[in-house]
Amino acid sequence: MLFDLRSRGRRRTVQVVYLTLAIVFGLGLVLFGVGTGSGGGLLNAFTGNGSSSGQNSAVSSQEKAAIKQSQTDPSNPTSWGNLINARNSTAQLNSQQTTTGVPSFNAKGKQELADITTDWQRYVALIKSPDPDITIIAAHADEYQSNYAGAAQAWGLEAASSPTEAKGYLCYALNAYAAKQTRTGDLAKTKALALTPKAERKEITGEIEEAQTTPSTAQQC
């Protein structure tokens, strides 16, 4: 048997085996983070894989590049659109999901939302037909800051770009009512209901009525 240590040769063999295992385990710990539960080994530190810090660094680089692009070519709406996308990625990494479905942002995430709102104003001033995806990012950023008037404006643009879709008009109505823009809310509500199947209209009406008394309902768009 291997662990019968009465023989000097076998004792030597056991020593070699344990030394080999120790080296293998040590290399796994240092290079790959084996057994640490963090996935933060040396190789991951170089590649940025398997760690949130690596993801944050990648997004930070993306955002820095987008900021530089917007400074170099400030009259190009694509520059601001790219920056909005980059800031949104950073904001999402600095948020947590809640039971309501509305994300909760830390201080860094909140700053990114504010910056998105600022960049959106630059972007929308330079383009006649805003990209729907960027428009929705801007709308959500305003919603999460309780800037329902700004969100309503963005949703109005999104609805106009997809006139046969009820979703844009519904969110337009929710945010308009949350911002106390009753006339705008009424018009958007009428359009949303007209585009919604009859079986779903009661539920939609309930959401809209809730937004009139509880503005934060609009954040669930």
Q: What DSSP line would sit under 167-193, residue for residue? A: HHHHHHHHHHHHTT-HHHHHHHHHHHH
User: Given phi > 0 = left and psi -120 to 50 = alpha, else beta, which region is 197?
Assistant: beta
Q: What is the dihedral of CA 196, 197, 202, 204, to 10 degrees?
A: -30
The residue with greater pLDDT, 25 or 207, is 207
Model confidence at 59, pLDDT cuts 50, 70, 90, reads confident
The predicted model scores a pTM of 0.74
Picking from 135, 130, 179, 127, the residue whose alpha carbon sits closest to that of residue 155 is: 135
Q: Are 144 and 98 in contact (CB under 8 A)?
A: no
Rounded Cα distance between 215 and 173, Å, is 11
**Token reading at 200:** 């779903």
Distance of alpha carbon 144 from alpha carbon 113, whole angstroms: 8
Name the residue with tokens 């900021």: 67
User: What is the distance, to the nearest Å, from the Cα of residue 90 to the centroid of all Cα atoms in its chain?
Assistant: 7
Instruction: Look at 61 and 159; give whichever has higher pLDDT.
Output: 159
Placement of tokens 């046969």 in the chain: 164
Distances (CA, A) of 185 to 45, 178, 195: 51, 9, 15
- Euclidean distance between CA atoms 213 and 202, whole angstroms: 17
Please tell me the distance from the alpha carbon of residue 89 to that of residue 84, in angstroms, as a whole number. 9
Cα radius of gyration rounded to whole Å, the chain: 27
Q: State the distance between the two ends of the chain, measured CA to CA, in whole angstroms.
A: 69
3-state SS class at 132 = helix
- Rounded Cα distance, 131 and 40, in Å: 38
Residue 41 has pLDDT above 60, yes or no: no
Boundaries of every domain in the chain: 1-50, 52-128, 145-221
**Directed axis angle between helix 148-161 and helix 182-194, to 10°?**
30
pLDDT digits (tens, 9 = 90+) for 123-161: 999 999 999 999 999 999 999 999 999 999 999 999 999
Residue the block writes with tokens 């969100």: 151
pLDDT at site 57: 58
What pLDDT is attached to residue 100? Answer: 86
